[in-house]
């Protein structure tokens, strides 16, 4: 990092200059991902600016000797910043610059890139008090107040995975949003920070209640679809049944689909589309609204 780059990280985000990204490298990343390629030119430009600031703030570490080059880092940065593109700040205020939106990811610096899936040791205790230990293969993991881990093998296949509504980078960074303002010892619950006025609500508590009610109904419907497919051979739902684990995973998995295959997401989850638009496109919605 040069002295000028180091100085930039000390400045308030709204005053930082936009780091340069080589046009050919940016084009290579966009062309490999249909959900980025279909963005309008102004949105691609804004995403490029966001990705530049993201790269300026975050540190990438390759596990098991994996070298993380500029292409790999930018591939992750572009997808991590996609959910931020039209968001408001957690307070509900519109950002004065794109860089301010990185406040959503300000609880960590490190991103660990694994060559493939990582094996994590798990331990659960059943209702009889018996402890079960097992190893779980992970494509990614977001740690509260800690780094994000990603499998490069899964990241590099994001273009093809979009057809089934999957994206590991978006999944883990949505978990980071869900974890924001979470107290120590708590677990994400699928309800990100919401602001007064969200979808016309009159308070933060009303916004949270509206979100919970909508999400719970859709989560239960999805779990029923998974159960019917497993028990009676009915058609399996479009999205990965991992979304039926809990509401936090349901939020992350459905958010993947919202960004990488919006048309199919709208067909499968029409009740969630306005909810997610209200959250992920809150700044754009307010800008487009006629003056009162």
Residue 239 CA to residue 12 CA, distance in Å, equals 40
* pLDDT tens by residue, 46-62: 999 999 999 999 999 99
Residue 63 CA to residue 32 CA, distance in Å, equals 24
Q: What is the pLDDT of residue 138?
A: 83
* pLDDT tens by residue, 205-260: 999 999 999 999 999 999 999 999 999 999 999 999 999 999 999 999 999 999 99
Q: How confident is the model at residue 18 (pLDDT cuts 50, 70, 90)?
A: confident
DSSP symbols for 135-168: EEEESEEE-TTS-EEEEHHHHTTHHHHGGGT--H
Tokens in use for 284?
């754009």
Say if CB 154 and CB 140 are below 8 A apart.
yes
> Can you list the domains of the chain with their CATH numbers?
3-288 (1.10.472.150)
Q: What is the pLDDT of residue 17?
A: 75
Q: What is the pLDDT of residue 3?
A: 45
Query: Given the structure tokens 């994206």, which residue do they identify?
Result: 167
Asked if pLDDT for residue 6 goes beyond 60, the answer is no
* pLDDT tens by residue, 146-156: 999 999 999 99
Residue 169 CA to residue 113 CA, distance in Å, equals 11
Q: What is the number of helices (H) and of strands (E) in the chain?
A: 13, 6
SS3 track for 205-221: HHHHHHHHHHHHHHHHH
Q: Strand 140-142 relative to strand 148-151: parallel, antiparallel, unpaired?
A: antiparallel
């Amino acid at each position: 990092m040069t002295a000028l780059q180091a100085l930039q990280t000390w400045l308030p985000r709204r005053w930082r200059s936009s780091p340069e990204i080589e046009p050919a490298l940016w084009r290579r990343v966009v062309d490999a991902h249909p959900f980025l390629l279909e963005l309008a030119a102004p949105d691609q430009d804004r995403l490029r600016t966001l990705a530049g600031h993201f790269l300026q703030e975050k540190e990438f570490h390759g596990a098991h000797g994996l070298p993380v080059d500029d292409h790999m880092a930018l591939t992750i940065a572009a997808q991590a910043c996609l959910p931020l593109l039209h968001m408001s700040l957690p307070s509900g205020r519109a950002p004065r610059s794109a860089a301010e939106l990185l406040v959503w990811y300000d609880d960590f610096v490190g991103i660990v890139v694994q060559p493939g899936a990582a094996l994590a040791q798990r331990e659960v205790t059943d209702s009889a008090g018996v402890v079960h230990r097992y190893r779980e293969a992970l494509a990614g993991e977001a740690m509260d107040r800690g780094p994000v881990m990603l499998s490069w093998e899964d990241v590099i296949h994001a273009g093809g995975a979009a057809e089934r509504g999957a994206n590991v980078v978006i999944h883990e960074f949505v978990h980071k949003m869900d974890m924001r303002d979470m107290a120590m010892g708590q677990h994400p619950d699928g309800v990100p920070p919401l602001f007064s006025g969200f979808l016309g609500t009159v308070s933060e508590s009303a916004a949270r209640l509206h979100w919970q009610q909508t999400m719970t109904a859709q989560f239960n419907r999805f779990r029923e679809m998974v159960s019917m497919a497993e028990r009676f051979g009915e058609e399996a739902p479009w999205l990965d049944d991992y979304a039926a684990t809990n509401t936090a995973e349901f939020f992350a998995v459905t958010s993947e689909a919202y960004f990488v295959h919006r048309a199919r997401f709208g067909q499968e989850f029409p009740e969630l589309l306005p909810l997610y638009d209200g959250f992920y496109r809150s700044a754009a919605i307010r800008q487009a609204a006629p003056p009162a």
